[in-house]
Chain A
Amino acid sequence: MRLLTHNFLASNVKGVSTGYPLALEVAKTSIKEVELNVDFLRGILPKIDWRALFAATSAAGFPELLAAEQPPEAELFAEGAAAVEGSAIRRLHHALLEIHVEEGTLVCPDSGRSFPILKGVPNMLLHEDEVRH
């Protein structure tokens, strides 16, 4: 699971109103490089919960990757930034699409229910008595 997906995942346990963001506990990560696509990042950025992404990158062991408070938009989409090693947009790309959480846990902030991540797959399956009807 990449941090992009973590950013869109919420706790689905019965009785929980927000269940977001899920706290991330990371036991193992892997890095898989993919080509950077500025248009994708520009399109997805308004939908990203930046605080949740920042917390997730820190939990995954990359606390210096992103600005803590908000996305530095001017810097991110500055002309030619994508070609510059270590630029803000490269770091955002790395955070969203290249860090894979292989083993770990997602924890619901409201109920404390934990969801295991095994072999890269978060398990959001609920027991019968946890499902909303």
Chain B
Amino acid sequence: MSAGDGAAVSAVEGKLAELSASCDLRTLPKRGKSASARTLNTAQIQLVAGHPEVYEPCDDSFALVDALLSDKAQLLTLQPSLCMEVGCGSGYVITSLAIMLRQLGSGTQYLATDINQHAVETTQATLEAHGVHADVIATDIVSGLEKRLAGMVDVVVVNPPYVPTPEEEIGMKGIASSWAGGLNGRQVIDRILPAVRELLSEKGCLYMIALEDNDPLGICHLMNEKGFASRVLLKRCTDEESLYVLKFWQDAAAGANASQSGRSPRAESWLSQLPFKSFWHKNAGSS
């Protein structure tokens, strides 16, 4: 990293610290007005199954579901045939997705995977408690589905293991698999992204959570190089972390523009609303 980049990063950190103070105003309220919408459109917490080795719905799960809810109209217009969650944990997110798209009936089918066998059982129980169905598979990311499901999935949702940890914590069984993300929290994310890109249909969308530490901008840049446009659907600051819900979709112009100018106009449209725009321009200029 050059000294220039270092300065840019500090500037970004400074701006983000400033932003944190006003962050609550920028996010959907967790309770209050949205509470009734959430009850009707999502899984109910008291019906979500649990297990000591399975990640319980938490701030990140709620952020992802709130982002999906905020994009519900687009999801309904998309009329997805196949929706999938990678890393379904308690089942809160895939169950909520199935509930919010219930009006599409059996025109929309759901799949969910998790590497943790307790999680797949918990997800099954959560789905059943809400009277919705997804086929649940115990597997690593999408292993076993990559060939036949290529280009077929219209919606993928992922709350990945994003917490920066020592590399050796990756591959641990049980609940650790729900959070251990290795270096910068990116090691599992960087395996998930190419796998999901293969599965997405032409009209397909990926909704994924990323932490500030995961370099969400870098993730968008990487996806842009592969022909995906991106948008930040939601940003939420908690005491411990800044969460982003990113949405990606295929856009022929994204890859073409990326190769010409090193950045995408689509990405810029949301970047312009965020404080690290200057960082992006600086990097794009120096590359």
Contacts and interface: CB of A to CB of B under 8 A. Distances in A.
Contacts of B111: 5
Interface string B119-154: 011001000000001011111100111011100100
A122 B111 CA distance: 12
A116 B4 CA distance: 55
Task: Tell me whether chain A's interface is mostly helix, strand or loop, or mixed.
Answer: loop
A2 B135 CA distance: 7
Contacts, number: 78
Interface in B97-128: 105-109, 111, 115, 117, 120-121, 124
Nearest to B120: A121
Interface of B: 81, 105-109, 111, 115, 117, 120-121, 124, 133, 135-140, 143-145, 147-149, 152
Interface residues of A, number: 32
A40 B106 contact: yes
A123 B81 CA distance: 24
A7 B145 CA distance: 10
Contacts of A123: 117, 138-139
A91 to B, nearest CB: 15
A17 to B, nearest CB: 10
B137 A9 contact: yes
Contacts of A1: 135-137
A57 interface: no
5 contacts: A7-B148, A43-B81, A120-B136, A124-B138, A125-B115
Interface of A: 1-2, 4-5, 7-12, 20, 32, 34-37, 39-40, 43-44, 47, 49, 97, 119-126, 131
A121 B144 contact: no
Given A35-B105, A40-B107, A12 B124 contact: no
Contact of A20 (B117, B140, B148, B152): B148
Contact of B124 (A8, A120, A124, A125): A120
Contacts of B81: 40, 43-44
A126 B149 contact: no
Given A35-B105, A125-B117, A9 B145 contact: yes
A125 B106 contact: no
A131 B143 CA distance: 10
